[in-house]
Structure 1
Amino acid sequence: MTTWTEVINFVRLRYEVLEETESWLRFRLDLADDRTQQVSVHHVPDADGAAWLEISSPVGRADKIDLRRLLDLSGEALVGGAAVVDGVALLKHTVPLEDLSVLEEFDRPLQLVVAKADAFERELTEADHF
């Protein structure tokens, strides 16, 4: 079983951490073609007290992109679902923390969410804001 502290340490060793609180990390990944993508990981307990990790990555400002197209794109994605939080359109995915026996089980969905969010951002904004 993986702990939240192990996730934090895993992220700190591999990525540029931009912001951190007791239950939340925001960091940046370098991608191909000189693009970058921000991602957040929240440590979230459910109603039964089980711990979850919510991985989210921004796609664009909700009022500046075609949200219908974002829904179509996210419906085709292997991981994640579209959401709007504080005016930002996101691709989000949640994994149970206690089911992660190795941190690679966290890294794979993280990489998939980030790659899709960046692809959606590229298509919907033709820019690299996040």
Structure 2
Amino acid sequence: MTSWRDLATFIRQQYKVVRDEPDELRIRIRFHPEDEEAEERTQIVVIAREVLDRRDEWIQIATPFAHVDEVDVLGVLTEVGHTTVVGGVVVMGEYLVLRHSLPLANLDLNEFVDPLALVTSSAEMLEEQLTGRDDY
């Protein structure tokens, strides 16, 4: 997989796309609880094509998990530093977002799918732990 078009086609085939723009797709990932009585949770993920220095294409995976003003940001950064393998926390507007970027050139399927799963599940865990809600 080496082009945005190829990746976007794969995403459309494998995931529930809720928004489709030329350089950005938004998908909804569902998490089925281990406890059968618990409600299913979901996470919205933005997958965007970014161009670095007007020549290198990158893919950015980003998913919000809290409003900045609702959580202890230092506590969030500490938790992510201890528990998260991929991605980093950034502020985007009023949201705390877990984000990970990958170079598009020579991107292999597992190099996208595995980080997507890790970023999404980590953000879902943070959202539940920090807010107790399922807003995103």
- Mark yes or no: TM-score above 0.5: yes
Residues of 2 paired with 1:6 and 1:89: CA distance? Answer: 29
**TM-score, normalised on structure 1?**
0.93
C-alpha separation between the residues in 2 aligned to 1:129 and 1:48?
A: 35
| Cα displacement (A) at 1:48 | 5.4
Paired residues, number: 129
Name the one with the larger helix percent.
Answer: 1
- Which runs of 5 or more structure 1 residues have no equivalent in the other structure? none
What fraction of aligned residue pairs are identical, expressed as a percent?
A: 33
**Residue 118 of structure 1 pairs with residue 124 of structure 2:** yes
Is 1:107 the counterpart of 2:113? The answer is yes
Q: Which residue of 1 aligns with 2:104?
A: 97
2:3 maps to what in 1?
3
With the length of structure 2 as denominator, give the TM-score of the two structures: 0.89
Structure-1 separation of matches of 2:124 and 2:132: 10
Give RMSD over aligned pairs: 1.2
> Secondary structure of the equivalent of 2:105?
helix
Secondary structure at the counterpart of residue 45 of structure 1: strand
Larger CA Rg, structure 1 vs 2: 2
Structure 1's consecutive aligned runs of 4 or more residues displaced over 3 angstroms after TM superposition are none
